[in-house]
Each structure stands twice: as structure tokens, then as C-alpha cells.
Chains A and B, each alone.
Chain A
Amino acid sequence: MSSLFFLMRKQLKNIIRGLAHKPLALIGYIFIGIFLVAFIIIAFIMPSGSVRNVGSDVFSAGITGLILIAMYLGLRQGIEKGSTYFRFSDVNLVFTAPFKPSRVLLFGFIKHMGTSLFIVLFTFFQIPNIKNNFLLADYGILSILIAVMFYSVISPILGMIIYSISSHSNEKRILIKRILDIAAVLFVLFFFITLMEKRSFTEALVTYLNTGLFSYIPVAGQISTIASAAVYGIDYRFFISIAVLTVIIGLSLAILYNSNLDYYEDVLNATEEYESKIKAKREGRDASMLKKKVRSIKGGFSSHGARAIFEKHMMEYKKVSFFLFFDKASLMVILFGIGFKYIMPDGVSSIFFTLFFSAYMLFLLIIQGRWPMELQKPYIFLIPESNWKKLLYTTLTENIKNLLDGTLLFAVSYFVYDTSIPVILLCIISYTLYGAVFIYGDIISRRLFGSIHSRVMLIFIKLFVSFFVVLPGIIIMIILLNTTGSDLHAVFSITAWNLFVVMCLFLASKGIFNNIEST
């Protein structure tokens, strides 16, 4: 085991030493660190329930629902692909070394604890949101963090166990899947029974998810109880849940390395997939393109020149997306964009919040969009077409997708907000233009800061560049909104500004395809 500790110690030391040799990166990380610490302090000192005080039962229902869905999806994924604590370097150098598999598993588990700590740190970003809407009890934040910690630790273990049980035969795999699916169907069925009794969707959902039965479901029930202590306060159930989860983790680990010493194959598949995802992220590619189910499509190319790039992207979309441009990202933008209205207090709620929040979501989605894949391959640089055309057609599919997502989002918004069709139309255009700002802002950031080694740092830079260029439009909009009181004037001003910014960024971006070093 000492050599495995040697491995972890040396890697940590080299990461820290590496930062010391890159002052720019170090400054960036210090900045991120300060930002994070400030967020943690704010999370602890800010008052809770100050914006509005949503009932505790809504909080616990939300947590229970989220955990049940996450566990169902996690277990389904576990059956197909397993789960892993390891990297490919571990497979090549540690799995083949003379270690007992139990020690290797412990090594993976310890490594994963580090990842869990990171997840807990990033949970702090959600705390202000929670505190704005719910009145937290003493040690409420701590309860949420402990729940997140337990979930991130236990979910890979469950994935590994279910894979090792189900991977032996196809029949077992199908049986376990069916059991899970039947449980999910029963879950939905019982909800509908409650819905028929209550005649109100929200009331039925809250009542149903607060049913005592759910707290007895292993893992999900305990995590939900721990997280719900954030609003109900810490009592004996909180400690019992911690004890139960600790026992479950211990037992699961014991099962893994006592009854199944041969788990290397079980994690191999997931490790390969994990490694591909990391590679895709580093290269700025969309990891969803890695998914194995690719549909065969009819028809080939019909265009020539730079248009062929656009056609290629369309073919790729057709192969991996069921509804062409409508995918998980579209759903997320629409759900979060509309959902944001219900998070904001009634008096404050406005279609502009939906526009800005969905634009923010779009930023997060675009930074891992599909077009940067082109930059990793030589073809785009070699195609004998002007840079204008290449840039236009390379980014065209993303712009069309944003237009369609925006249309869907604001078509729904029309029914949610009290507003007019011209405002909705301008919101759609503005949303699409935000997408274009992020795409071409991404290119500018790559041209200016592409040599920065850290992807996290590059994302922060892109965030600041994008924020900097869209800010004047928002300021003009606020001024107009306050002086004229017209939503139409306000949204028109922001659309005009975004159009101006997009044109400037497009002009500045064209050099990206001059040579591979420009990226």
C-alpha cells in the first residue's frame, strides 16, 4: 500500500510544483480560490428565507425526487457500463502490478474521496439559491454538504456492484433492468393515484414525495433524510442515516473485494469511457458525440466547398440526435429558463430573467459545443475556401440550433409571462445572438489565450470575455426599461447591441482558420 500512497503523494506534489512554475495559471487559481472562499463565506453568513420562504416539505420533496431519479439513472448506467474510480494509467500500471485487488480498490476509493471533496466545494455555488428560497435550520448547510458527500462516494460503489452482479449474463442484466423499470413504473403509478386524490399537481407531488416509505429505501432514503435535516433540523434520524450509510458503504466495499476479487474487467469498460470523456473535454469536444449508439442515415453530400462542412455537421447531428437539433441541452435550456420564473418571487419575475438565465445556461453548453472538434483535425485548415465562408458554415449548425431552442423556449414563455408577440420574437433573436456572441467570443478567447494550459482557466476567461462584451447591452436595456417602461424598447436595444457585438466578433474571428496555431 505504501507504493500506492507514494503514487498519490508524488502526483499531488507535482501538481502544486507545476503551478509554482506557471505564475499566470497560479494567479488564475488563486483568483478562483478567492472566488470560491468568498462564495463559501457568503453561503454561511447570508440570511436564509429572506427572498421568500418556501415550505420545508417542498424542499424535502425536491431532494427525495432528485435522489430517486439520480439513483435510478445511476443504477441503469451501472448495469450497462459499470462505474470506475480509475484512470487508464491505473489499468496499465497498477492493475498489472503485484497488489491485492482489495488494496487497489481501496486506492481507487481514497482517490475518489478527493473528487468528492471537489463536488462538495462546488455545491457551495447552489447554497445562496437554496438560502434565498428556504429557511434553513441550524447546521443546514452542513447537512446538505454531508448528503452530497455521501451521494458522490456511494454512487460509484453501487455502479460497480450492480455491474459486477449483472455483467455475468445477459439474462441477469435484463432481469435487473426490468426490476428497476417496474419500480420506476410503480413509482409513477402511485403518484398518479395521489394526483387523482389531491387534484393539484404540485400538492400531489409534495405529498407523495414526503411519504414516509421513501425514507426507508436504502441509500436514497438516508441521503434524503440527511439533506432534509437542512430545513427540519438535525435530529436522531440524521445520525441514524449517517450510521446506516456508513455501514452500507463498508459492506459494499467488503462485498466488492471479498466476493468479487476479479473486478478489474468490471471497471475496464467504464474506465475506457471515462478516459474518452476526459480526452473530449480537454480537446473542447462534445462528449455526447462519443455515445456508441449511432443511427445510420440515408443520403450523402450534395454541396461543395465550405457548405460541405455544414452538411457534414448536419449528418453528424442526424446520426446522434433523435430529434435533430432537439436534445438534452435544448430540454435543459427550456426547463431551467422557464423554471427560473418560479424561483424568482412573483413581483420580480420578468421575461428578461428567463432570457438572461437561459443565455447563461447556453454559455455553459456552448463551451463544450461540437464545432471546436473541427479545430482538432487538419481538414478545416486545408479546405480551399475563404476564412469567412469556413467560419460561417462551421458555426451555422450551432446558430440554427440556438434559434430553434430559443423559439421553443420563448414560445412556451409566451404562455407563462404576460407579454406580447413582438417581445417574444425579439427575445428569440436576442437569445440566438447571445449564442453567436458565445461562439465567436469562444473563438476570440482561443485566439488570444489558447496557449493557456488549464481548461478551467480558459472557461473563466471566456466567461469574462463574454460578460464584458454583453454588459453594455444589458446596461442600455436597464436604462431604457426604467425610462420608457417598455419591454419592447428594452428588448430591441439588447437585440441591436448583441447584433453589433456578433458582427464585430465575427470579423475578429475569421483568422482562426489561418493555421492550427491560431487555436
Chain B
Amino acid sequence: MLQVNGLTKRYNNTLAVNNISFEVENGEIAVLLGPNGAGKSTTIKSIAGLLKFDGEIKIDGFPNKSIEAKKVFGYVPESAAVYEYLTVYEHIEFIARAYRLDDSWREKAETLLARFELSDKADKLGKELSKGMQQKLSICCALIINPKMVMFDEPMVGLDPKAIKELKSIFVELKNDGCAVLISTHIIDSIEEVWDKVLIMNKGKVILSRTRKELEEMSESLEDVFFRYTEGASGV
């Protein structure tokens, strides 16, 4: 479970995120939408523990910067940056060691590599991978730890159709396993089938927070709501 309470982030005189609060329950897929400059990236970097902020962020009940929270937190950044001189398999081995995973990670690694068609690239160095392959590796690294909360920042960018399909099924599997999933994306269509909760940000605030059920009752699509709230009046 992810809990964000009163998150505020200021860069000098610019208020990037203004006192936002939201939750992503276990077994829930939340999607974070917003136009460029809405504060999504700052929110994501704050949740990932990369920024200082005011307010409180908890992952699985622990402060997000604590070791306990990090142990159960998976993160797929917007731009995959991998180690140039580490092979695909060594990346996963490094993560397994860093997170002190038991030996079962090897079996899971094989499965993940196969699903993302990286099995035959296991011995390739990071610098030899294409952007898309780096993104796939980044996803494998986030999933190998069996996260209880996982955050994807523009996960579909650079992926081939097969990988996009795999990733969508992984979203559902994570949800069924009770994992809290937060996805930030601009490609609304790509998450249309899987989302449970939508959070729309604009000008540093969460201007809309709705569940799928609530939107269905209003007979509105995710895309309609997005454009209405980001182009029109501010919020709910």
C-alpha cells in the first residue's frame, strides 16, 4: 500500500507539488495522469525517495526512505539507465543480492527474461542493449524483488507490441497478488483496460481522484475526463 499525505515539494521559488494526498491500496492499479509540468515527475521522484519533501510518504506502512520500505518497493524509471559493463543477467543478480533475495530469484529471473524475450540476451552488456531492451531489463529489475508496491513511470515507451502485451498482463498479475501499482503515463489508451483508480494532476495539485466504478457511473471515459479536467476548470 502507498500512502501520500500532504506531499509538498518546492524548488527554490517554484512550488512543484502543492500539498497532495492520495493512497493506492494493495491489489489496486492507480494511474497518475497530467499534462507536462503538472508535477507528476516530482511526485514520482519523491515517492522513489530521490527528493527531499515536506509531508509523509509511506510504502507498506513504512516511511518511503526507510530500508523496510525500499525492500518491498519496485521502480521503473522513465528513462532506463543500466550499467554499461554489467550483463543483463548480472543486473538481475546484483538486484537479487542488493535486496537479499533467497535463491528462488533465479527461477523468477528465467521466467521474466523469457517473458520479455531477453533470455538470449542474458550475456549481453548493458551498453549493447537497445533502448527498448534497456526498458525491459529495467522492468525485470523492478519485478524480481516481488514488490508489494511498484511504480512505473512511462513504462510502455520504447517497448515492442509483445512486451506491451506482457506488461499489461503483469499489471493484472501484480494486482491479483495484492501489490499496489502506480503507473504514470501519457498514453491513456495503454492502461484503459487495467486501471482501478485515476489521479489527475495539474499545476502541482491532484485535481481529480476517481475510481473506475465512479467514472463508469458517470458514463465517462478516462480520456474524456482527462481532457475535461486538464483543459477546463480546476478541480475536485
Contacts and interface: CB of A to CB of B under 8 A. Distances in A.
B99 A265 contact: no
Interface stretch (B84-92, B163-171, B186-194): B84-92
A92 B65 contact: no
Contact of A99 (B45, B90, B98): B98
Contacts of A3: 94, 97-98
Contacts of B75: 92, 96
Given A6-B94, A98-B67, A89 B82 contact: yes
Interface in B49-102: 49-52, 65, 67-68, 70-71, 73, 75, 77, 79-87, 90-91, 93-95, 97-100
A487 B48 CA distance: 67
Interface stretch (A11-19, A28-36, A335-343, A477-485): A11-19
Given A11-B83, A94-B98, A98-B99, A268 B141 contact: no
A10 interface: yes
Interface residues of A, number: 31
A14 B85 contact: yes
A268 B51 contact: yes
A95 B50 contact: yes
B185 interface: no
B99 to A, nearest CB: 6
Interface in A147-198: 170
Interface residues of B, number: 38
Given A91-B50, A170-B13, 20 more contacts: A6-B94, A7-B83, A10-B94, A14-B85, A14-B87, A14-B90, A18-B125, A89-B84, A91-B77, A92-B138, A93-B91, A95-B50, A96-B50, A96-B70, A96-B75, A97-B98, A97-B99, A98-B99, A99-B70, A268-B45
Contacts of A15: 85
B124 to A, nearest CB: 11
Interface in B208-225: none
B94 A93 contact: yes
14 contacts: A7-B94, A10-B94, A12-B85, A87-B81, A91-B50, A92-B75, A92-B80, A92-B138, A96-B48, A97-B98, A98-B67, A264-B50, A264-B51, A268-B51
B27 interface: no
Nearest to B91: A93
A99 B97 CA distance: 11
A199 interface: no
Residue picked from A12, A91, A93, most chain B C-beta under 10 Å: A93
Contacts of B100: 98
A13 B100 CA distance: 23
A433 B207 CA distance: 62
Interface of A: 2-4, 6-7, 10-12, 14-15, 18, 87-89, 91-100, 170, 261-262, 264-265, 268, 275
B81 A268 contact: no
B104 interface: no
Nearest to A13: B85
A100 B75 CA distance: 18
Contacts of B87: 14
Contacts of B70: 96-99
A170 B13 CA distance: 8
Shortest Cβ-Cβ A-B pairs, 5 listed = A3-B97, A88-B81, A98-B70, A11-B85, A3-B98
Contact of A10 (B51, B86, B98, B141): B86
A277 to B, nearest CB: 15
A98 B81 contact: no
B130 interface: no
Nearest to A11: B85
Contact of A89 (B48, B83, B90, B97): B83
B208 to A, nearest CB: 28
A402 to B, nearest CB: 34
Contacts of B67: 98-100
A265 B141 CA distance: 22
Contacts of A262: 52, 65
Given A14-B87, A89-B83, A265 B52 contact: yes
A471 B49 CA distance: 57
B86 A265 contact: no
A70 B61 CA distance: 47
A21 to B, nearest CB: 10
A95 B73 CA distance: 12
Nearest to A169: B12
A168 B51 CA distance: 12
Interface string B113-155: 0000000000001100000000000100100000000000000
Contact of B50 (A89, A268, A275): A268
A204 to B, nearest CB: 41
A88 B77 CA distance: 11
Contacts of A4: 98
A87 B84 CA distance: 11
A95 B67 CA distance: 11
Given A87-B81, A88-B81, A98-B71, A11 B98 contact: no
Contacts of B98: 3-4, 93-94, 97-99
Nearest to B138: A92
A7 B86 contact: yes
Contacts of B86: 7, 10-11, 14
A200 to B, nearest CB: 47
Interface string B36-51: 0000000001001111
A226 B107 CA distance: 55
Contacts of B84: 11, 89
A15 B83 CA distance: 12
Contacts of B82: 89, 93
A206 B81 CA distance: 49
Nearest to B96: A3
Which of B12, B50, B65, B80 has its CB near the most chain A CB atoms (within 10 A)?
Answer: B50
Nearest to B97: A3
A2 to B, nearest CB: 7
Nearest to B46: A265
Contact of A92 (B77, B90, B97): B77
Contact of B126 (A89, A94, A97, A265): A89
B105 to A, nearest CB: 13
A61 B118 CA distance: 59
Contacts of B52: 262, 265
Contacts of B95: 93, 97
